[in-house]
Amino acid sequence: MKESLDMKGNDLNRVNTCFTVGYTIAMIPQNLLVQVVSARIVFPAMTVTWGALTMCTAAAQNTSHLCVIRFFQGMAEASTFVGAVRPFLPLSLSVLLD
């Protein structure tokens, strides 16, 4: 039987930091990617990637494996900010300019 992932001390903080770093690094490239490639392709692809990485977390043997998975998961999830904010950006800018 597989032994469970044993996290101690600041391991959870490290894992969450890896996610945040991946998310932050990928925000601008994801935004540029949506400018070049249709959002109909980018968002579903990133959603499938994120889901596959979520399933990979079950196979993590130690905290470093989990950090790597969460880093790439953050990169895949960075597209959601672009997708959630971009449709409302012209509306919010017009409100600010009035």
pLDDT tens digits, residue range 70-93? 999 999 999 887 666 666 666 555
Is the model more confident about 1 or about 15? 15
| Contacts of residue 18, Cβ cutoff 8 Å, sequence gap at least 6 | 67, 68, 70, 71, 74
Tell me the pLDDT band of 34, cut-offs 50, 70 and 90.
Answer: confident
Average pLDDT over residues 9-35: 91
Half-sphere exposure of residue 37: CA atoms within 13 angstroms, side-chain side: 13
Burial group, residue 47, by CB count within 10 angstroms (0-12, 13-18, 19+): middle
- Phi first, then psi, for residue 27 (nearest 5°) are -60, -50
| 18: number of Cβ within 10 Å | 21
For residues 26-35, one letter each, b for 16 or more C-beta atoms within 10 angstroms of the residue's C-beta and e for the rest, the string is bbeebeebbe
Amino acid at 88: F
Average pLDDT over residues 7-24: 92
Is the model more confident about 33 or about 85? 33
* Share above pLDDT 90 across residues of the chain, in percent, rounded to a whole number: 43
What's residue 96's pLDDT?
Answer: 52
pLDDT at 94 over 70: no
